[in-house]
Amino acid sequence: MSREADRDPHRAGRVAESFGSGPDLYDRATPAERMGSWAMGTLGEELLTLLADLYEQGQEHDAHQPRHGDRLRNLEPQTAALVSVLVRSSGRTRLLEIGTPNGYSTIWLAWAAAQTGGRLISIEVDPGRQRMAEDNLRRAGLRDRVDLVLGDATDVIEELTGLFDLVFFDADRVSAPAQLALLLPRLAPDAMLLADNVLSHPGEIAGYLAALEDLGDFDRLVVPVGKGLSVAYRGPGHPREQR
Ligand SMILES: C[S@@+](CC[C@H](N)C(=O)[O-])C[C@H]1O[C@@H](n2cnc3c(N)ncnc32)[C@H](O)[C@@H]1O
């Protein structure tokens, strides 16, 4: 395997698990095959291929953007797969995502919502990105599962009604504590909160993690997948509810 492949843990994993160790086999593989056996077969070949294409296009796009804010910064595929399993295995139906870009993680969440009979609201501040996400959700056949909302998430959240049983924070991180505070009255008693970039941007996410800790009624852990996923969970009958 080439040095380049050695530096890419996903590529190395995909090659090792799906094709043995020959670079030729990897190069001949379809995008879906490149996702490897760790990926989610239940998504189906077509959706897996679309997701693999979107991820690769996102990586390609980001590689040419010197400014952090111009990058799409899609979730690592394994993180997205874990998020999807968390939603499905706990039957979450009222999902909120903060940060849509091209709809990569939105598709994973929308597909999971389709399995649980749920819906997703996804908030994005950039109209061009939201249009991209809308196109990609249509391509995935999942447009009807998602309400795409345009605006600054902190403002949008103030206007939201209804309860959420899963919130995925993946926008600008520093606004996440304020967004969490606004969302508290809109969280179901049984609620899961996810946030990416705990390991890649520990300084920026520190305020969010501290805010979570202050809540006191959420179990908290960091899963060292991708860029580090914060998982916080409060079950029904949590101490605050029993008071
Ligand atoms: C890291 S990307 C999200 C990646 C996405 N979860 C995925 O895997 O495809 C962050 C996105 O949040 C958007 N964003 C940043 N600050 C925001 C805010 N205050 N309100 C809404 N969207 C915001 C950015 O425009 C960007 O598209």
Do 24 and 86 lie in a common domain?
no
Segment 5-29 shows an average pLDDT of: 45
Do 85 and 54 lie in a common domain?
no
Lowest mean pLDDT among 26-40, 63-77, 149-163: 26-40
Pocket test for ligand 1, best of 78, 107, 126, 196 (most atoms within 8 A of CB): 126
Do 61 and 94 lie in a common domain?
no
Q: Whose CA is nearest to atom 4 of ligand 1?
A: 74
* Cα–Cα distance measured from residue 171 to residue 130, given in angstroms and rounded to the nearest whole number: 13
Do 65 and 173 lie in a common domain?
no
Out of 34, 50, 70, pick the residue that ends a domain. Answer: 70
Give the count of domains, the chain. Answer: 2
Centroid of ligand 1 to alpha carbon of 185 (angstroms): 23
pLDDT confidence band for 41 (50 / 70 / 90): confident
Do 208 and 92 lie in a common domain?
yes
Do 48 and 134 lie in a common domain?
no
Beta carbon of 113 within 6 Å of any ligand 1 atom: no
Out of 70, 93, 117, pick the residue that ends a domain. Answer: 70
Q: For residue 214, what are the contacts with CB-CB under 8 A and spacing of at least 6?
A: none
Beta carbon of 124 within 6 Å of any ligand 1 atom: yes
Out of 70, 86, 107, pick the residue that ends a domain. Answer: 70
What is the residue range of 42's domain? 3-70
Do 99 and 40 lie in a common domain?
no
pLDDT digits (tens, 9 = 90+) for 121-172: 999 999 999 999 999 999 999 999 999 999 999 999 999 988 999 999 999 8
Beta carbon of 226 within 6 Å of any ligand 1 atom: no
Beta carbon of 228 within 6 Å of any ligand 1 atom: no
Pocket test for ligand 1, best of 84, 125, 174 (most atoms within 8 A of CB): 125
Q: Whose CA is nearest to atom 19 of ligand 1?
A: 152
Tokens of 225: 């997948």
* Structure confidence at residue 20 (pLDDT): 38
Pocket test for ligand 1, best of 71, 87, 111, 124 (most atoms within 8 A of CB): 124
Segment 213-224 shows an average pLDDT of: 96
* Cα–Cα distance measured from residue 210 to residue 203, given in angstroms and rounded to the nearest whole number: 11
Do 30 and 107 lie in a common domain?
no
Do 64 and 112 lie in a common domain?
no
pLDDT confidence band for 22 (50 / 70 / 90): very low
**CATH of residue 175:** 3.40.50.150
pLDDT digits (tens, 9 = 90+) for 96-121: 999 999 999 999 999 999 999 999 99
Beta carbon of 76 within 6 Å of any ligand 1 atom: no
Decide if pLDDT at 188 tops 80. yes
Beta carbon of 171 within 6 Å of any ligand 1 atom: yes
4-28 b/e (C-beta count within 10 Å ≥ 16 → b): ebeeeebbbebbeebbeeeeeebee
Alpha-helical runs (H) found in the chain: 3-7, 9-19, 23-28, 31-35, 45-63, 77-89, 104-116, 127-140, 153-159, 176-183, 202-215, 239-242
Mean pLDDT across the chain, nearest whole number? 86
* Structure confidence at residue 68 (pLDDT): 85
pLDDT confidence band for 18 (50 / 70 / 90): very low
* Cα–Cα distance measured from residue 186 to residue 200, given in angstroms and rounded to the nearest whole number: 29
Do 61 and 87 lie in a common domain?
no
Do 211 and 110 lie in a common domain?
yes
Do 55 and 152 lie in a common domain?
no
